């Protein structure tokens, strides 16, 4: 591997903004990517605002990256200049542990390297994400964007897509299963599309009557107003799976009551404590399951893109110039986006 | 089905104590059983003391019943007079729903009939359990006690046994898996025996250093003192499965931290709310699972008895005369029993 200055050092040397610097000289397994589009994930806001602590400034967010290859390291076999490619939430892992061997790099026992605000395993530099003109990533962590997929609308598949696809696959959702999707944002609306494509009957849980028409438009077979106690009670014991995409504290118990025996409540959005507390009798008496799920490994990240190409699925997006990112964040905080902002990176290049 | 007087009516007519009455005239699928032994479950105490409300007095507890057949209804094919048989926590279910069709009668969609303090589906009479000379049960809910199993020590297999066996089987515990058993009482010590017989490496979690020798005697490969923070931290990410038999509120988070990614924390003892609350990040970031499990269906209840005969497994018991049941309850409340009390029902017959 060639020694390189850290990104921060390059930035200091150059006086240029971070987005405007070649990320590093190519290592043998590296793919250099010119970024065309980058999805905006709520996680980006958390890092920008240091909500979880630990943000290293300057931070370059963005882990829903789609672009094209501009150069490859000498050992790269699977990518060539001009290929349309994607990069998701990870750019490296140890590659040796049981999780990496299983293609579950997100659970790397030595800790995966996040696409931004992480630490490069080779030179210790900070990793920078996709709100940028280019990025350099080891080939194992690059996926191909199949022909026929709209590149901009494919970008959110790299996080919102894989996050909802992976658990539905992991738990074997199949034709005829009854799947409930809780939350109708960037993740939720993707969950609906995937569960439908897998043959399930899909119900959207929403808090407001005003969203019923939109839920149906999204493809939901049924809609349940989660604030209506009677509707929730009527759904008792109905679902095989619930895909819970709500990113803030909420009561899981009324949802779990809607599961069949052996049903599974899959949480992808919530990292905090469960309050009000989980009623364990609801699990024990019906052999129900509460499970977490985190993005997906690299083989499955390629799989979701291929699945989307095959089933003509993309994310519903609103395109954005980078100059409007702060407004976009404000709108996202209010839930005012259908369903994912994607930055047209040409706007960044035009600004230079 | 022949019409019969309710048990209560019979009791009123006879002036006899409940245990001393033929339970009902035989229906066509009934098996009449003279009870030889009955295990004492903590649930019995909860019903006797009406801890959960809803106890119908007089209550006859006992759902770990072993006896021998004294008569059978005209359609009974699988049992004959003299057979050694067992009855567990259920004596009936609808037999028509998806759960019943799957042999998961404990999850009967129309509600299973518990062995005691339930309502007979045919005549509405109250069901009475195994602290008794005899019981009459529909053949579907009777299992065979294989030759070679000690009848007294087999009794607790009908509840404590199946409760711990079923989830280990359901989740496919196999040779080489690392299983932790939390709690070393009637359920926990059975969980150890089963997990060992399935080829797992078994660790017992106990709160006290003083129980280490006993845990090793029970067959544990390793022991972790759960009150020792360092030991708990050292076990981070170690286990494939945790079998949590603790019946009172406790903090699940330090245990979940001991699971590998994809690990499963199986709760069989706790019906209350989880406090302190579950940290959902612990599940999401490692795709871990929290699952409940409830006894087992009738096919699996037969299976656990056959498994025990094959692997020479029984419960560690302390035999008890019925006259000492109140003392036994007091000792159980203090955790002072290794590991299950079993009533020798001869003591009841001698008292008549």
- Cβ-nearest to B268 among A279, A284, A293: A284
For residues B164 and B268, the answer to whether their CB atoms sit within 8 Å is yes
Domain count, chain B: 2
pLDDT surpassing 90 at residue A23: no
The alpha carbon of residue A305 is apart from the nearest alpha carbon of chain B, in Å, by 21
Same-domain status, A147 and A21: yes
Residue B299 is assigned to a structural domain of this protein: no
Write out chain A residues lying below 8 Å of B177, CB-based: none
Using a CB–CB cutoff of 8 Å, tell me whether B248 touches chain A: no
Using a CB–CB cutoff of 8 Å, tell me whether B58 touches chain A: no
Residue B304 is assigned to a structural domain of this protein: no
A155 falls in which pLDDT band (50, 70, 90)?
A: very high
Same-domain status, B145 and B30: yes
Residue A57 is assigned to a structural domain of this protein: yes
Residue A216, domain CATH: 3.40.50.720
Same-domain status, B101 and B56: yes
Residue B298 is assigned to a structural domain of this protein: no
> What pLDDT is stored for residue B341 in this prediction?
98
Of B292, B307, B333, which closes a domain? B292
Nearest residue on chain A to B100, alpha-carbon basis: A261
- How does the average pLDDT of chain A come out, rounded? 93
Enumerate residues 294 to 323 of chain A having a beta carbon within 8 A of any beta carbon in chain B: 294
What is the predicted ipTM? 0.93
B22 falls in which pLDDT band (50, 70, 90)?
A: low
> What pLDDT is stored for residue B211 in this prediction?
87
Read off the pLDDT of residues B274-316 as tens digits, 9 standing for 90 and up. 999 999 999 999 999 999 999 999 999 999 999 999 999 999 9
Read off the pLDDT of residues A37-96 as tens digits, 9 standing for 90 and up. 999 999 999 999 999 999 999 999 999 999 999 999 999 999 999 999 999 999 999 999
For residues A89 and A115, the answer to whether their CB atoms sit within 8 Å is yes
> What pLDDT is stored for residue A211 in this prediction?
87
- Cβ-nearest to B294 among A278, A285, A289: A285
Residue B1 is assigned to a structural domain of this protein: no
B284–A292 C-beta distance less than 8 A: yes
pLDDT surpassing 70 at residue B163: yes
Write out chain A residues lying below 8 Å of B290, CB-based: 278, 283, 289-291
Using a CB–CB cutoff of 8 Å, tell me whether B46 touches chain A: no
Same-domain status, B119 and B11: yes
Query: For the residues A142-166, what does the mean pLDDT come to?
Result: 98
> What pLDDT is stored for residue B1 in this prediction?
34
Using a CB–CB cutoff of 8 Å, tell me whether B280 touches chain A: yes
Same-domain status, A153 and A275: no
Residue B123, domain CATH: 3.90.180.10
Residue B258 is assigned to a structural domain of this protein: yes
Residue A307 is assigned to a structural domain of this protein: no
Nearest residue on chain B to A290, alpha-carbon basis: B290
Residue B167 is assigned to a structural domain of this protein: yes
Same-domain status, B123 and B226: no
Same-domain status, B134 and B48: yes
> What pLDDT is stored for residue A350 in this prediction?
87
Same-domain status, A85 and A50: yes
B289–A267 C-beta distance less than 8 A: no
- What domain range includes position A118? 7-159+315-351
pLDDT surpassing 70 at residue A26: yes
Nearest residue on chain A to B283, alpha-carbon basis: A292
- Cβ-nearest to A290 among B261, B268, B290: B290
> What pLDDT is stored for residue A201 in this prediction?
98
């Amino acid at each position: 591997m060639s020694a390189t200055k850290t990104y921060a050092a390059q930035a200091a040397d150059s006086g240029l903004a971070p987005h405007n610097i070649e990320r590093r000289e190519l290592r043998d397994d590296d793919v250099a990517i010119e970024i065309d589009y980058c999805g905006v994930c709520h996680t980006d806001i958390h890092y920008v605002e240091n909500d979880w602590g630990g943000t290293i400034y300057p931070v370059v967010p963005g882990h829903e990256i789609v672009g094209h290859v501009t150069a490859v390291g000498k050992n790269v076999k699977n990518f060539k200049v001009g290929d349309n490619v994607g990069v998701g939430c990870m750019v490296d892992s140890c590659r040796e542990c049981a999780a990496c061997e299983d293609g579950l790099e997100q659970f790397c026992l030595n800790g995966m390297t996040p696409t931004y605000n992480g630490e490069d395993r080779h030179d210790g530099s900070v990793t920078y994400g996709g709100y940028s003109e280019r990025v350099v990533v080891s080939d194992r962590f690059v996926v191909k964007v199949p022909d026929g997929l709209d590149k901009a609308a494919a970008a959110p598949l790299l996080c919102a897509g894989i996050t909802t696809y992976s658990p539905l696959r992991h738990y074997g959702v199949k034709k005829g299963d009854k799947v409930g999707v809780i939350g109708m944002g960037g993740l939720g609306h993707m969950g609906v599309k995937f569960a439908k494509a897998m043959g399930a009957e899909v119900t959207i849980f929403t808090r407001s009557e005003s969203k019923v028409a939109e839920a149906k438009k999204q493809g939901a077979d049924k809609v349940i107003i989660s604030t209506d106690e009677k509707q929730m009670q009527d759904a008792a014991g109905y679902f095989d799976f619930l895909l819970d995409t709500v990113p803030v504290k909420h009561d899981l118990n009324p949802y779990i009551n809607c599961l069949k025996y052996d049903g599974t409540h899959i949480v992808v959005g919530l990292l905090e404590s469960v309050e009000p507390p989980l009623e364990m009798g609801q699990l024990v008496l019906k052999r129900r399951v509460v499970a977490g799920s985190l993005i997906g490994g690299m083989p499955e990240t390629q799989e979701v893109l291929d699945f989307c190409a095959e089933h003509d699925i993309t994310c519903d997006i609103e395109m954005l110039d980078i100059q409007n990112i702060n407004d976009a964040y404000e709108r996202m905080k209010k839930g005012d986006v259908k369903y994912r902002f994607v930055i047209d990176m040409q706007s960044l290049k035009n600004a230079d």
